[in-house]
Chains A and B, each alone.
Chain A
Amino acid sequence: MSRSVFEAMSILVVDDSAYMRHLLMTLLQALGVKEVHLAIDGDEALALLHTSEPDLIITDAAMMPMDGFSFAHRLRSIRGRALSMIPIIMVSGHTDISSVERARDIGITEFLSKPICARSLYERLIQVIDRPRQFVEAPTYRGPDRRRRDRPFEGQDRRNTVALI
């Protein structure tokens, strides 16, 4: 029988709701994830990243004192470490276009709206684990390539020159 990638993964869940942390942890365990770390807000998550380096982060958007946006921004701003490129799935009840755009422009990899369902969580995880987008490092943005569709555009195609890590 083939190995499941989930069994080999370490995932950090950041949410101020104890129930949501419990739900996400239980769902990840049902998928086979053996190592799930929990943090109650962005501050605790950043502190945790000093001692462990997860393969993926699932974070809530609205938390106190450090919310998911600030946490993601801080993480993406770390220079010179692979840690800053960890895929981030943001879970949020704010599904208006401005929140989604804000998440995208901060470098969030995938956005998952609340209430969450098993299928959408599973699909987002597959997307992140198996179909990574190339990572962009620019003076004003660090995060996964925000262009998901390959359509012609005006200007220089800088995507031709990629570094492989």
Chain B
Amino acid sequence: MHERRSPSRLAGKEAAETPAEVRFVRVPSIAERKLGSDYVAPMRLDPRILEQMQTTIRDLETQYADALKSQVAMLQVLVEPACKGDADARRRLYALAHDMRGLAGTFGHPVIGQFADSLCRYIEQSQSEDWGDGTVVTFHVDAIRDALENPRTDPTVTMETLNALERLIGATRRQRSAG
């Protein structure tokens, strides 16, 4: 069986033609280069080192929990001016949500990470930075605050909230495109 591979979309028209010069370079492994005769192939995951890394994350959790509280409080301060169109407040609100999207899950707050991800995607996809009346952003910020205050919320409720936010985003978009 033969595999027919389509050219990369980024490569454009040129890729459809046979490239004039293609060079394949074999790169020695970093492990081989650094360890020389001490190199033993293949390199495997060491459970003790993995445990060290996981302990490192656990150690940072308390520190992060304090920072997260401050960040959520800041989100609540920023949401009103941001929804009224204050550019600096919007930039800072997005930066905070972006941080939460990347870090909250790692430090044991996956629900906050999910709400922050939904908020970031909404902001990223909002045309001309149109936040409408701000309902979508405000509801996301409320959901993040609630998730922080009630970490043991039933996962079903979390899923329902996420779905409700998705529906709200959809409805807002439809309303906007209808004029």
A residues whose Cβ falls under 8 Å from a Cβ of B: 2-3, 5, 8-9, 17, 19-20, 22-23, 26-27, 29-32, 55-56, 60, 62, 85, 87, 91, 93, 101-102, 105-106, 114-119, 121-123, 126, 128-132, 134-141, 145-147, 151-154, 156, 158-159, 161-165
A22 to B117, CA, bound (A): 21
Interface residue from B42, B52, B53 paired with A131 (Cβ < 8 Å): B42
A138 touches B22 (CB 8 A): yes
Among the listed stretches B72-80, B96-104, B139-147, B160-168, which one makes contact with chain A, having 4 or more residues with CB under 8 Å of it?
Answer: B96-104
Residues of B near A8 (CB, < 8 A) are 34-35
**Total B residues in contact with A, Cβ cutoff 8 Å:** 59
**Given that A56-B30, A136-B24, A152-B2 are contacting pairs, would A3 and B120 also be in contact in the complex, using a CB cutoff of 8 Å?**
no
27 residue pairs from A and B, CB less than 8 Å apart: A2-B38, A19-B64, A19-B103, A23-B106, A29-B56, A31-B49, A56-B30, A85-B25, A93-B101, A105-B8, A118-B54, A118-B56, A118-B57, A129-B30, A129-B43, A131-B42, A135-B24, A138-B19, A138-B21, A138-B22, A151-B3, A152-B1, A153-B5, A156-B18, A158-B22, A163-B23, A163-B26
**Given that A118-B50, A134-B27 are contacting pairs, would A17 and B99 also be in contact in the complex, using a CB cutoff of 8 Å?**
yes
Residues of B near A158 (CB, < 8 A) are 22, 24
Distance in Å: Cβ of A71 to nearest Cβ of chain B: 16
Distance in Å: Cβ of A135 to nearest Cβ of chain B: 4
Cβ-based interface call for B178 (8 A): no
**Given that A17-B102, A118-B57, A132-B28 are contacting pairs, would A139 and B23 also be in contact in the complex, using a CB cutoff of 8 Å?**
no
B22 touches A27 (CB 8 A): no
Residues of B near A20 (CB, < 8 A) are 99, 102-103
**Given that A137-B25, A163-B24 are contacting pairs, would A30 and B53 also be in contact in the complex, using a CB cutoff of 8 Å?**
yes
Number of A-B residue pairs, CB cutoff 8 Å, is 184
A138 to B20, CA, bound (A): 8
B residues whose Cβ falls under 8 Å from a Cβ of A: 1-5, 8-12, 14-15, 18-31, 34-35, 38-45, 49-50, 52-57, 60, 64, 67, 98-99, 101-106, 110, 113, 117, 120
A122 touches B50 (CB 8 A): yes
Interface residue from B3, B19, B25, B56 paired with A27 (Cβ < 8 Å): B56
B43 touches A152 (CB 8 A): no
Residues of B near A165 (CB, < 8 A) are 25-28
Distance in Å: Cβ of A148 to nearest Cβ of chain B: 12
Interface residue from B12, B45, B49 paired with A30 (Cβ < 8 Å): B49
Distance in Å: Cβ of A7 to nearest Cβ of chain B: 9
A62 to B117, CA, bound (A): 13
Residues of B near A85 (CB, < 8 A) are 25, 27
A156 to B2, CA, bound (A): 12
Residues of A near B99 (CB, < 8 A) are 17, 19-20
**Given that A9-B34, A122-B49, A130-B31 are contacting pairs, would A159 and B24 also be in contact in the complex, using a CB cutoff of 8 Å?**
yes
**Given that A134-B24, A165-B27 are contacting pairs, would A115 and B4 also be in contact in the complex, using a CB cutoff of 8 Å?**
no
Distance in Å: Cβ of B118 to nearest Cβ of chain A: 11
